[in-house]
Amino acid sequence: MRHSNSGSQTSSTENRSGHLYAPEHNNGNFHTFAGRASLLVGSKWAFTTAILLIVFWGISGPYFHFSDTWQLVVNTATTIVTFLIVFLIQNTQNRDARAIQLKLDEIIHSLKHARNEMIQIEHLSDDDLEAISKNFEKIRAECERRTANRAAHTSK
């Protein structure tokens, strides 16, 4: 049975062909910065630069007599970079996860026999998700039972 989902589509707009789409929003400077920065820091050039900086730091050790300051420079730099990169990665992961969920929601919404109740189940409680999971385990077990029965009948 197909259920109407019009109440949950309030943030979407219908285009001329009747398809729902989310209106574009200006996500601000941080969104733009985070997207570009995550592309940059995830590139092979950023990795190569990091390797070269570490090699240069290691080679410079004898010049600075392997002092505490020499060690503190790399420790501080890596701590600050790691701290900042964590937020960029989390922002990118959140955006990607949200986009994937929306794509899955659209697929569920467009399939004739899909249950629209599955749209946005990621917002349910852990207990509700566990109940749904157990339901799918029962469905899987039933499918396996039917497959085994068919295999038994065809082998006779």
Sequence spans of domains, the chain: 14-118, 124-156
Output the pLDDT for position 59: 95
Burial 100-122 (b: 16+ CB within 10 A, else e): eeeeebbebbeeeeeebeebeee
- Terminal-to-terminal C-alpha distance of the chain: 37
Tell me the pairing of strands 13-14 and 20-21. Answer: antiparallel
Measured between alpha carbons, how far is 87 from 37 in angstroms, rounded to an integer? 11
| pTM over the 0.75 mark | no
**Residues with pLDDT less than 70, the chain:** 1-27, 156
Distance of CA 130 to the CA centre of its chain: 21
Percent of the chain with pLDDT over 70: 82
Output the pLDDT for position 91: 87
